[in-house]
Structures are given as C-alpha cells and as structure tokens.
Amino acid sequence: MQEAKGEYLVTTLRGFDQYNSLTKKWAPRNSSIFLSNMNKVLIEENAMGPAHIFTDKKGRTWADMWLDGKKGQGPQVFCYDPAANLFTGYKQSIGMAAMGYHSINGLLEQQDGSIWLYGTNLFARFNESRQMFEDVRNETLKVNGIDLENIFQLYEDKDANIWIPSSNGLFMFNPGRQVFSNLPNKRNDIKPKEYKNSTDAILQSKSGIIYSSAWGGGIFAYDSNFNVVQNPIIPVAAHNDGISGWDMHERSNGEIWIGMQGGSIRVYLPGTKKMAEIKTTVFDNKTVRQVIEDSSGNMWMGTQYGRVIKCTRANWRDTGSFKVMLDVKGRVTKMMTDKKGFVWVCTDRYGLFKLNAGDGSIAEHYDEESPPGRRLLTAGANDIFQFNDSILLIASGDLNILNSRTNTITYAGVGFGPEHPNLTSILKDRLGYI
C-alpha cells in the first residue's frame, strides 16, 4: 500500500515494513509508533495477516488480522492515527456488533468518509463520536427482513448506494425502500424459535433430507420444500447447542462425515443411528474446514491452519489411518477431487495445490509468483470447479481458467480484479451456465 509519495507499507509473514522508493531504503521498525506497535502485536499474539490495509481520508491507517495468542483467538481491527499519535484496537466493539462467531472480509470507506466493516456474521459502521463499530443490522436492515450471514464485498456506486454481494444474495443498501426475506434455521423445539447462527455447510443426502450445519447451532434437517423434519444425526434439540460443523460429506455407504470446530471429525452411521467422534493429534486442535472423498474411497480433510489430512480407505476406526499430507501456514479454503483422481487444495495465501491421491505428493502448485502463463491473479484461491475433462475454473481475484492439458492459465475478466479479490464461489447450473 502506498502512503506518501515514494513511501510504501509492505506486509509479509515477517510483519510490517516501510519502504522508500526514492531513497531505496527500508525504515527501521522502531521508527514509528505504527510499525513498532503493529509488529509487536503480530509477534505477541501469533497473529495471521494483516490484510485489507488502507489509509482513510483523515490520514489514519487501518488493517485487520487474526489473533491466536494470550489475548485469545479471533479477528481484530487496528487503526493508527498519526495526528494523535494513537494506536487503537477494536476487538471488543466488533465482538459486540457481531454477537457471536465472526470473521472479517474487508473494510470500505465511503465518499463521505464513513468506515464500514463486513464479513461473516458481521456488518458494522464505525461511529466516530463513540469511537467504536456498531452493528447496522440492528438499525434498519433487520426491520426490513435482511439478515446477512456472510458479506463478501461492499461496493459504493456514484450515487452513494452500497451494493452487498452476500451468501444470502445481492442487495443494494437502501433499507427504507426495499424489503427482503430469507429462510432462518428452525427445528421442532418445545418453544419454536428462529436460529440466527450463521450457516457453514449444506448437504442434501441420498434420502432426500437437506442438512444445514450452523456455527454453534448444530444440525438442522428439512425436506425438499424446507419443511422441518426429524433430525436423525443429532435428534435431541438441546444436544445441538454449541455444535459447529464446518463441512459435511455423505459417502456411498451412507456415512456422513462432518468437519468440526476445534479439530475433530464426526461420523454419523445411518445403520445404527449413532455418531462417532474422532479427535487425533493430526488435527492439531484446529477447525476442520473441508471434507471430501477421492475416487479410491479415501477421505481428505483440510484445516483452518493449513493441514491436509488423508484417512486411508475412510477407516476412521483406526486413528493410524489419518496422515498429514500437506502442511502450510494459511488456511484451507476449498478441496476437490477431479475426474483423473487428483486432489486439489485451495489455500487463502499459498495458492492452489494439485496432489497425487496415492501418496499426497505435490504434482503442481500455482500462485501469484508462478511463471507467466501459469500464474494466479492473487496469492490465494477461494474455490475450484471442474468444468470439463481439461478445464478447471479457479476463484483467485478474478476468474482464472486452468487448462490441465496445456498446464496454462488464462483469465476471464469477470470484473472483480486484484483490487477486490473476492470472487468466492463457482457453480454450474442445470443449463450449463457458470
């Protein structure tokens, strides 16, 4: 990020540095309160990031990161005001605005100087007078039925309207004129209620039941018309409280594997209607974000902290069958097996890996520093989709098109671009449209 003329803020795994292109020198890390404080936090809190760095119209520098230290885990936003020589963190007010689990996808400064923060279970505006982030969903959005779970991006048009692409759809932030509806999670409780827990995964089983897994809300079950039905996985409603399943996969034998918060796998056995939980050291107590099955019946899992784990022949009863195949520092965002049996792993900052399913060895790796013609637009990848035998579509900034026969990457130019690297998910509909 460019600050003053010739001065740039640079972030790496080592932290923050400031470079002057005119003098071609790096500033000492103790040369400013901003550099010294930000790097101190990164070290003390074992922080991941920082990201979404920008300087606002008042000259303040903003950044967010993920903390994993003595002050606990979770997202944090820091702001440095050079005029007041003040360094401030907003973790508390952000937590109050989210009112539960949340993660940050970005910040936006409007033309009028308003600062917005958005992400999973998070949509907040910075109150300058109170110096805190406040949940705008409590003001006008919820009144009109808009309940945003995951906001991918905010965009302000020339008329000062804010456009909101989210997991619930695309909205224009004008709640005084527009009314929206959605389907909150429900179950047959003694006292019926709507659950506001953000949905992490949806699975339609071979039996026709649609399962919805919500963070901290457990498993919900519906028929094809989204009427509530009996939940065979966790049948007692109260036993769902505090359960967070991040991904679900149904095997050909009917087993349903669920990747869990905190580093474990749960396996539902439909024949006995029982659940088994496997928590081994290979998960390192980190959330299992992805669960897939390869063509040979092996199960693969990806964690929040970058481990890819294989369970040979899906033999979950033998903990020795779980082996670490890949270990990177970023989080695993998506996994897929292709028609040729390779396992593909998307990470948030280390690009895309193509693994041999047999031994887990790396067959190919693509990132923003790969040679021309094989380069992703950004450091990470959010999703991958196999379009046909030779074409794979990758969400990395814009739409990246990988031809596996020529091993080359081209770009579709959807229009997101490197300035807004939030192309998040790819799907082909019944008519063949992407």
pLDDT tens string 228-249: 999 999 999 889 999 999 999 9
Mean local confidence (pLDDT), 269-273: 94
Q: Is 60 exceeded by the pLDDT of residue 182?
A: no
Q: 271: phi > 0 → left, psi -120 to 50 → alpha, else beta; which?
A: alpha
Q: What is the DSSP letter of 228?
A: B
Tokens 């020589």 belong to which residue? Answer: 85
Instruction: Give the up-direction half-sphere exposure of residue 277: CA atoms within 13 A in the CB hemisphere.
Output: 11
Q: What average pLDDT does the structure give for the chain?
A: 86
- Rounded to whole angstroms, the Cα distance separating 163 from 185 reads 25
Determine the longest span between alpha carbons in the chain, in angstroms: 71
Q: Is 50 exceeded by the pLDDT of residue 175?
A: no
Tokens matching residue 343 = 């396992």
Query: Taking a C-beta distance cutoff of 8 angstroms, is the pair 227, 186 a contact?
Result: no
Q: Is 80 exceeded by the pLDDT of residue 197?
A: yes
Query: Taking a C-beta distance cutoff of 8 angstroms, is the pair 301, 290 a contact?
Result: yes
Q: Is 90 exceeded by the pLDDT of residue 9?
A: no
Q: What is the pTM of this model?
A: 0.64
Pairing status of strand 48-55 against strand 332-337:
unpaired
- Rounded to whole angstroms, the Cα distance separating 331 from 284 reads 13
- Rounded to whole angstroms, the Cα distance separating 190 from 43 reads 48
pLDDT of res. 249 = 97
Q: What is the CATH number of the domain that holds 169?
A: 2.130.10.10
Render pLDDT for 123-155 as a digit per residue (tens, 0 to 9). Answer: 888 988 889 998 887 544 554 555 678 899 988
Q: Is 80 exceeded by the pLDDT of residue 184?
A: no
Q: Which residues have a Cβ under 8 Å from the Cβ of 32 and sit 6 or more positions away?
A: 18
Q: Which of 80, 82, 104 is nearest to 91 (CA)?
A: 104
**230: in domain:** no
The DSSP H or E segment spanning 103 is: strand 103-109
Q: What is the DSSP letter of 304?
A: T
**236: in domain:** no
Render pLDDT for 49-108 as a digit per residue (tens, 0 to 9). Answer: 678 888 899 999 898 888 887 767 788 898 988 888 888 889 989 988 888 888 899 999
**194: in domain:** no
Q: Is 80 exceeded by the pLDDT of residue 255?
A: yes
User: b/e map of 273-293 (b: 16 or more CB within 10 Å)?
Assistant: eeeeebebebbeebbbbbbbb
Q: Is 60 exceeded by the pLDDT of residue 179?
A: no
pLDDT of res. 189 = 74
- Rounded to whole angstroms, the Cα distance separating 252 from 375 reads 36
Domain boundary among 126, 158, 173: 173
pLDDT of res. 303 = 97
Render pLDDT for 279-324 as a digit per residue (tens, 0 to 9). Answer: 999 999 999 999 999 999 999 999 999 999 999 999 999 999 999 9
DSSP H helices in 356-407: none
Least confident of 31-45, 336-350, 411-425: 411-425
User: SS3 of 23, please?
Assistant: coil
Query: Domain count of the chain?
Result: 2
CA-to-CA separations, 78 to 62, 131, 339, 426, in angstroms, rounded: 6, 12, 45, 32
**219: in domain:** no
The DSSP result for 250-284, as a single string, is E-TTS-EEEEETTTEEEEEETTTTEEEEE--GGGT
- Rounded to whole angstroms, the Cα distance separating 349 from 171 reads 28
**394: in domain:** yes
Q: Is 90 exceeded by the pLDDT of residue 224?
A: no
Q: Which of 409, 329, 336, 424 is nearest to 377 (CA)?
A: 409
Tokens matching residue 316 = 């979950």
Q: Is 90 exceeded by the pLDDT of residue 384?
A: yes
Q: Can you name the residues that pair with 68 across neighbouring β-strands? A: 73
Mean local confidence (pLDDT), 151-169: 84
**205: in domain:** no
CA-to-CA separations, 300 to 31, 305, 434, in angstroms, rounded: 47, 15, 26
**405: in domain:** yes
What percent of the chain is predicted at pLDDT more than 90? 52
Domain range enclosing 80: 7-173
Which of 4-13, 16-25, 349-358 holds the top average pLDDT? Answer: 349-358
Domain boundary among 157, 173, 189: 173
Residue 199: CB atoms within 10 Å = 19
User: SS3 of 225, please?
Assistant: coil
User: SS3 of 93, please?
Assistant: helix
- Rounded to whole angstroms, the Cα distance separating 342 from 362 reads 10
pLDDT of res. 221 = 95
Tokens matching residue 104 = 């940050």
Domain boundary among 124, 146, 173: 173
Residue 190: CB atoms within 10 Å = 7
- Rounded to whole angstroms, the Cα distance separating 225 from 221 reads 11
**138: in domain:** yes
